[in-house]
Amino acid sequence: MEKRDNSISGMCDPAIGEAGRTGDWRDVRPVIDHTKCIPSVKNKPACFLCWLYCPEGVVKGSIPVEIDLDYCKGCGICAEECPAKAISMVREDKIDE
């Protein structure tokens, strides 16, 4: 069988953190409300659109869904695509750690 060339495919596999660790310049971060997130609510693998659309490949398609904030760039695509509106983009200076 002919080998697939990922470099010309619209379905290329994302490399986690291809653009490197984010550092401290990110202004906003995604925060998941697991009471709304479909896999957590249904307790089964479903949706995962955030995993699919994240350009950094840093969303883990697990239950619960996890985001690797060391590499997340805060672009907000995951929040835009989430059909359950389960992801909020929260300003970094409003996060209590």
* Site residues for ligand SF4 per CB under 6 A: 30, 32, 37-39, 47-50, 54, 56, 58-59, 65, 67, 72-78, 82, 84, 86-87
Closer Cβ to ligand SF4, 76 or 92, answer by number: 76
| Buried b or exposed e, range 26-40, using 16+ CB within 10 angstroms | eebbbebeeeebbbb
Cβ atoms of 9 and 70 within 8 Å: the answer is no
- Smallest separation, CB 8 to ligand SF4 (Å): 23
Closer Cβ to ligand SF4, 75 or 92, answer by number: 75
- Smallest separation, CB 18 to ligand SF4 (Å): 11
Closer Cβ to ligand SF4, 4 or 52, answer by number: 52
Distance, CA of 20 to CA of 24 (rounded, Å): 12
Distance, CA of 8 to CA of 58 (rounded, Å): 22
